[in-house]
Structure 1
Amino acid sequence: MDRKDFIKNSGLLVSGALFGNTAFANLRFPLRVGAIGINGMGWSNLNALLKVDNVVCTALCDVDANVLEKRAGELAARNIKVNTFENYKDLLASKEVDIVIIATPDHWHCLQMIEACKAGKHVYVEKPIGNSIQECERMVMAAKKYNSIVQVGQWQRSQQHFKDAIAFVHSGKLGKIRLVKAWAYQGWMKSIPVKPDSVVPNGVNYDLWLGPAKRRAFNQNRFHFEFRWFWDYGGGLMTDWGVHMLDYALMGMNVSDPKSVMASGGKFAYPDDAAETPDSLTAVFEFDDFSIQWEHANGIDLGPYGKNHGVSFIGNNGTLVLNRQGWEVIPEGKRMEAVSFQKSVDSGLDKHMANFVESIRKSDQFILNAPIQDGAHIAIFSQMGNIAYRTGKKIYWDKSKREFTDDESNQFIKSHYHNGYKLIV
Structure 2
Amino acid sequence: MSKQLNSDTTPTGNVRLSRRKFVAAATAVVAAPTIVPSSVVGANAPSNRINVALIGCGNQSRVDLPSMLRQPDAQVVAVCDVNKGSDGYARPEHFLGREPAQKKVNDHYAEKTRSGQFKGCDAYADFRDVLARDDVDAVMIVLPDHWHALATVKACEAGKDVYCQKPMSLTIHDGQQMIKAVRKHGRILQTGSQYRSNAVVRRMCELVRNGRIGEVKRAISIINGSGAGPGPGWKEQPVPEGFDYDMWLGPAPEAPYHIYRCLYRFRFLQEYSGGQVTNTGAHATDIVQWALGKDHTGPVEFEHQPGIVWPPDGHLFTTAMKSHFRARYADGVEFVCRTQEPGFGARIEGTEGWVQFSVNNMKEVEASSDAIKNSVIGADEIHLPVSTNHYRNFLDSIKSRKDPIEPVEAGHRTASICHLGNIAMRLERKLQWDPEQEVFVNDADANQMLRRPYRGPWQI
| Residue 424 (structure 2) pairs with residue 376 (structure 1) | no
Instruction: Give the equivalent residue in structure 1 for 2:454.
Output: 417
Instruction: Give the equivalent residue in structure 1 for 2:320.
Output: 278
* CA shift for structure 1 position 266: 3.6
Q: Percent identity?
A: 25
1:329 to 339, 343, 367: 367
Partner AA of 1:279 in structure 2:
M
Indicate if the aligned counterparts of 1:214 and 1:419 stay in contact, CA closer than 8 A. Answer: no
| Residue 81 (structure 2) pairs with residue 62 (structure 1) | yes
* CA shift for structure 1 position 64: 0.5
Indicate if the aligned counterparts of 1:27 and 1:361 stay in contact, CA closer than 8 A. Answer: no
1:289 to 327, 332, 355: 332
The separation in 1 between residues aligned to 2:47 and 2:419, in whole angstroms, is 42
| Residue 345 (structure 2) pairs with residue 310 (structure 1) | yes
Distance 1:35 1:404, change over 3 A: same
The separation in 2 between residues aligned to 1:400 and 1:76, in whole angstroms, is 47
Indicate if the aligned counterparts of 2:199 and 2:388 stay in contact, CA closer than 8 A. Answer: no
- C-alpha offsets along residues 304-346 of structure 1, whole Å, 9 cap, x if unaligned? xxxx211111122211111341312113xxxx8353799xxxx
Indicate if the aligned counterparts of 2:310 and 2:318 stay in contact, CA closer than 8 A. Answer: no
TM-score (norm 2): 0.78
The separation in 2 between residues aligned to 1:43 and 1:60, in whole angstroms, is 13
Indicate if the aligned counterparts of 1:61 and 1:88 stay in contact, CA closer than 8 A. Answer: yes
* CA shift for structure 1 position 373: 1.1
* CA shift for structure 1 position 415: 1.9
Distance 1:236 1:161, change over 3 A: same
Q: How many residues align?
A: 386
2:445 to 404, 408, 411: 408
The separation in 2 between residues aligned to 1:211 and 1:277, in whole angstroms, is 20
State the SS of the aligned residue for 1:135: helix
**Counterparts in 2 of 1:1-400, with a 5 A limit?**
28-66=47-85, 67-78=97-108, 79=110, 80-81=118-119, 82-186=121-225, 189-194=226-231, 195-255=234-294, 256-264=297-305, 265-267=307-309, 273-287=315-329, 288-296=331-339, 300-301=341-342, 308-324=343-359, 325=362, 326-331=364-369, 337=371, 339=373, 351-365=389-403, 368-400=404-436
Gaps of 5+ in 2: 4-26, 32-43, 86-96, 111-117, 377-385
State the SS of the aligned residue for 1:167: helix
The separation in 2 between residues aligned to 1:319 and 1:271, in whole angstroms, is 40
Distance 1:341 1:217, change over 3 A: farther
Distance 1:281 1:373, change over 3 A: same
* CA shift for structure 1 position 146: 1.0
The separation in 2 between residues aligned to 1:165 and 1:280, in whole angstroms, is 27
Gaps of 5+ in 1: 4-15, 302-307, 343-347
State the SS of the aligned residue for 2:445: helix
The separation in 2 between residues aligned to 1:337 and 1:242, in whole angstroms, is 29
> In terms of mean alpha carbon deviation, does 71-80 or 133-142 score higher?
71-80
The separation in 2 between residues aligned to 1:144 and 1:58, in whole angstroms, is 26
State the SS of the aligned residue for 2:421: helix
* CA shift for structure 1 position 28: 4.5
The separation in 2 between residues aligned to 1:208 and 1:107, in whole angstroms, is 12
The separation in 2 between residues aligned to 1:185 and 1:43, in whole angstroms, is 21
